[in-house]
Amino acid sequence: MSDYTKIAPTSDLPLANEAKEFLCGSKTICIANVNGTYSAMDNICLHRGGPLGQGMIENGKVICPWHGWAWDAQTGQASQDSRAKVTVYPLKIENGDVLLEM
């Protein structure tokens, strides 16, 4: 059985086409809202360690605010390097809460 952790109320989720940082235990997670679809992924850009949750959404991708690397919020795949991929976590919304499976 899956073990989901509550990380925030749904009222804290990012607006459409925005990203935001959330704490899940000792780890910071990026939650992106791409055209109304929420995704959760590691917050650290593999290029130079930038905070993805402080980036923006452009053409359906999370853009790192430091050097502009683009990340697919559904798959975690980088546009600039086919070998670079961040972890994407299962996310669900239940009873007004955002739940994440680590």
Asked if residue 71 has pLDDT above 60, the reply is yes
Asked if residue 21 has pLDDT above 70, the reply is yes
Residue 24, phi then psi, degrees to nearest 5: -135, 95
Residue for token digits 């053409």?
A: 59
Mean pLDDT of 14-41: 96
The tokens of 45 are what?
A: 């850009």
pLDDT tens profile 38-63: 999 999 999 999 999 999 999 999 99
pLDDT reported for residue 37: 96
| Contacts of residue 59, Cβ cutoff 8 Å, sequence gap at least 6 | 70
pLDDT reported for residue 102: 86
In the chain, where are the structural domains located?
4-101
For the domain 4-101, what is the CATH code? 2.102.10.10
Question: Is the CB of residue 96 less than 8 Å from the CB of residue 9?
Answer: yes
